[in-house]
Copies of this chain bind each other. A is one copy, B any other.
Amino acid sequence: MENRRRGYECAPWELRWRGLAVSELHRTESTFALSNGHIGMRGTLEEGEPRGLPGTYLNGFYESHGLPYAEAGYGYPEAGQTVVNVTDGKIIRLLVQDEPLDMRYGEAGHHERVLDFRAGTLRRTTDWTSPTGRTVRVRTERLVSFTQRAVAAIRYEVEPLDGDLQLVVQSDLLANEPIETQTGDPRVAAALEAPLVAEYGVAEELRAVLVHHTARSGLRMAAAMDHEIVAPDGLRTGITAEDDLARLTVAVDVPLGERLCITKFLGYGWSAQRSAPALRAQVDAALAGAQQTGWHGLLAEQRAFLDQFWASADVEIDGDPELQQAVRFALFHVLQAGVRGESRAIPGKGLTGPGYDGHAFWDTEAFVLPPLTYTVPPAARDALRWRHSTLDKARDRARQLGLRGAAFPWRSINGAECSAYWPAGTAAFHVNAAIADAVVRYVNATRDTEFEARYGTEILLETARLWCSLGHHDKHGGFRIDGVTGPDEYSAVVDNNVYTNLMARRNLREAANACERHQDVAEAYGVDDTEIAGWREAADKMAVPYDALLRVHPQAESFTRHAEWDFANTPPHHYPLLLNYPYFDLYRRQVVKQADLVLALHVCGDSFTPEEKARDFAYYEARTVRDSSLSAGTQAVVAAEVGHLDLAYDYLAEAALTDLHDLHSNVRNGLHMASLAGAWIATVAGFGGMRDHGGKLTFAPRIPSELDRIAFRMCFRDTSFEVEVRPGEARYTLLSGPPLELAHHGSRFTLGAEPVTLPVPPPPALPRPAQPPGRAPARRRAMEVRRRVRTA
């Protein structure tokens, strides 16, 4: 079975994998991860082994370690932060007549795992015959609750299939699980080898609590478990707690035809402040709530929550079932990553793996927040409140860098800069503009003026101050922002990166607007009319380089004068280039890791003419290698706008399938949240042509010939609506709320109770742009996909 059929089965509302595939566990543990943004649990088997990389995470819970530099410099961060694999409550081991259930031994007649996008659970069914010939069926279902954020639960059910059996179940809380770390630095490895220091443990009846703290970062966490057991007569239980292990042992003889069913409730909490008793009380209370709701109650809440989500956020893609599944998978994980973070970051990998040390990047605001803003706006608000809560650290960082305002970190868990390579870290100041832009988008989309007054304006004014002090008015004319790094990480420390400058310009103007709207806030932070005038002056004079000879925008000043990359002599196995070529060579050539000027064409599309967009897009297509997962979604958007619908389709598929097809060979470390979000962006901003420039919502929908229909739902202010696009026409339907001003291919209209159907003009006929040899996206042929899916 293992070798007969590998991979995920195609279905619209779930992700299913049949068979064990030990070597694929690393990646399926990531795709099958459950999370609510506060607790994350990788999709490991209950029995703990075989395993890829076990992982249980609490958002914001990290350990510190020194950052080593062979040549240090002023302002280099001294402390790194790494997400900690916290006390593992997923583990439930089974002894079948004294033989431990271990799928590497015996035989699994049937084994499958299913991630259900509507139920919000991971289900497993395993029929296992032990080496001595006893067969059991194990069914498990687990959830990390969307409605009770400190709670997870597992239903574990065992049934003898061929005779009476003695079963022993051990349900664990296990701290300091040994895991591989990939660091080369002995100090980092030491910090992470056993990061949790035991502080307190108690066990009685079916309940246990373990409290630990980290040695350096000084954070404290508690994990608690309680159980409900339904079993035949003769059940014996025992419970113990040691420093790093609490264990409930359940032993019972189960006759054929009967079952042992254990429900394990888990409560998690952490704090930098609260005492061990206070944390214990917190997780005990979480458990009490969960048990009050009960397993079926938790399941029902979970489904209701998701029903509501899909009702206002679903994306339908007719004509490509695999893409349909992938886009829902993407939305489900974006929701999981962000929905209950509540003033914590949304890490680059969500809570699905230890990749990037669990750090959050600009990915959050630039890619993950747009879909959340238009589908679950409170989640976007909470993520921005996290940024706001780190403002003091960002102000300190700006001061340390000799700048005014606030400089948000390139990568961080707690808000302090953790980037150890400043040219592709601290110098990437565009993160600040992305945060400001996300604030503006959220406020425009929700009219949440309270948020704007309490949080948003402060972020805007402090980032505006940053840009003002980072740039300068040049004698030669123009306001320049020199020596910064744009989104493309194959360039660094450049002058006048077009994306950065356009985003900074918007940041400056929006800060001025917000301060004028909230004069009390402006006053509280010492912003006066002169300062606001300075922002507008800088914005008006902002340098935007243009290459008049080539008639394209250089990504940054001089970019188009740099040498071309020698693609013809770059073999396929030399991608990603950064693993095979030195930075100095990448930086000085016209080779682009990820959309940069093309991202500007999307996000700052109101600063380019259609002709410029077409020429610029073609120019950068030929030089963009997509060694980053942050690229395909954006390329899809601009390809669609310019008129390359088939190319947009290919890029959408690449973005949506990044993790399911493990395109970057690193899904083991967690999912690529920005790429998953990029699938939504590619659909809605690409084929839907959705733009929100200046706070106005506009559409220019068009679908490729391979697809029959796409439809998506979103919210804007108090209105929820659906856009359906078919060949030749689009239909806008209001789902709830007041009428809404929209635009369709440049024509304004009001969407009221009556659906509006409008014709879709054909795209301009343009030659398909070329990508570097071997770097074109896989051609997506929906007919072939459909055939493959049918015969699978």
Contact B561 A558 (CB under 8 A): no
Write the nearest CB–CB distance from A599 to chain B, whole angstroms: 22
Write the nearest CB–CB distance from A437 to chain B, whole angstroms: 22
Taking CB atoms, residues of chain B closer than 8 Å to A401 are: 582, 584-585
Q: Is A75 an interface residue (CB 8 A)?
A: yes
Bound-state Cα–Cα, A588 to B67, Å: 25
CB contacts under 8 Å to B, within A469-485, are 471-472, 474-476, 480, 482-484
Bound-state Cα–Cα, A427 to B582, Å: 10
Bound-state Cα–Cα, A586 to B165, Å: 74
Contact with A421, one of B70, B484, B563 (Cβ below 8 angstroms): B70
- Chain B residue at smallest Cβ distance from A80: B70
- Chain B residue at smallest Cβ distance from A585: B402
Q: Is A71 an interface residue (CB 8 A)?
A: yes
Count this chain's copies in the assembly: 2
Bound-state Cα–Cα, A474 to B426, Å: 31
Q: Are A483 and B580 CB-contacts (below 8 A) given A185-B70, A493-B493?
A: no
Q: Are A549 and B476 CB-contacts (below 8 A) given A423-B423, A558-B495, A587-B483?
A: yes
Main secondary structure of the interface of A (DSSP, over half): loop
Bound-state Cα–Cα, A583 to B423, Å: 9
Q: Report how many residues on chain A are interfacial, defined by Cβ distance under 8 Å.
A: 57
Contact B422 A582 (CB under 8 A): yes
Write the nearest CB–CB distance from A761 to chain B, whole angstroms: 36
- Chain B residue at smallest Cβ distance from A77: B70
Taking CB atoms, residues of chain B closer than 8 Å to A480 are: 561-563
CB contacts under 8 Å to B, within A554-573, are 557-558, 560-564
Q: Is A550 an interface residue (CB 8 A)?
A: yes
Chain A, residues 587-615, CB within 8 Å of chain B (1/0): the string is 11000000000000000000000000000
Q: Are A562 and B68 CB-contacts (below 8 A) given A401-B585, A421-B73, A587-B493?
A: no
Q: Is A420 an interface residue (CB 8 A)?
A: yes
Write the nearest CB–CB distance from A245 to chain B, whole angstroms: 32
Bound-state Cα–Cα, A551 to B474, Å: 16
Write the nearest CB–CB distance from A216 to chain B, whole angstroms: 16
Contact A422 B583 (CB under 8 A): yes
Taking CB atoms, residues of chain B closer than 8 Å to A425 are: 71
Write the nearest CB–CB distance from A75 to chain B, whole angstroms: 4
Q: Is A492 an interface residue (CB 8 A)?
A: yes
Bound-state Cα–Cα, A358 to B71, Å: 15
Bound-state Cα–Cα, A580 to B69, Å: 17
Contact A68 B185 (CB under 8 A): yes
Contact A474 B584 (CB under 8 A): no
CB contacts under 8 Å to B, within A165-198, are 184-187
Contact A71 B420 (CB under 8 A): yes
Taking CB atoms, residues of chain B closer than 8 Å to A557 are: 558
Taking CB atoms, residues of chain B closer than 8 Å to A419 are: 71
- Chain B residue at smallest Cβ distance from A478: B561
Q: Are A482 and B562 CB-contacts (below 8 A) given A73-B578, A582-B402?
A: yes
Q: Are A72 and B581 CB-contacts (below 8 A) given A423-B423, A480-B561, A587-B483?
A: no
Bound-state Cα–Cα, A580 to B73, Å: 9
- Chain B residue at smallest Cβ distance from A471: B563
Chain A, residues 385-401, CB within 8 Å of chain B (1/0): the string is 00000000000000011
Q: Is A765 an interface residue (CB 8 A)?
A: no
- Chain B residue at smallest Cβ distance from A495: B558
Taking CB atoms, residues of chain B closer than 8 Å to A475 are: 549-550, 561
Q: Which 9 A-B pairs have CB atoms at the shortest separation, nearest pair first?
A: A483-B588, A70-B420, A68-B68, A75-B582, A472-B563, A71-B421, A482-B588, A67-B70, A71-B420
Known: A68-B184, A423-B423, A558-B558. 14 other contacts (CB 8 A): A67-B70, A69-B69, A74-B579, A75-B582, A400-B582, A402-B585, A422-B584, A423-B584, A471-B563, A480-B563, A482-B563, A483-B584, A493-B584, A495-B558
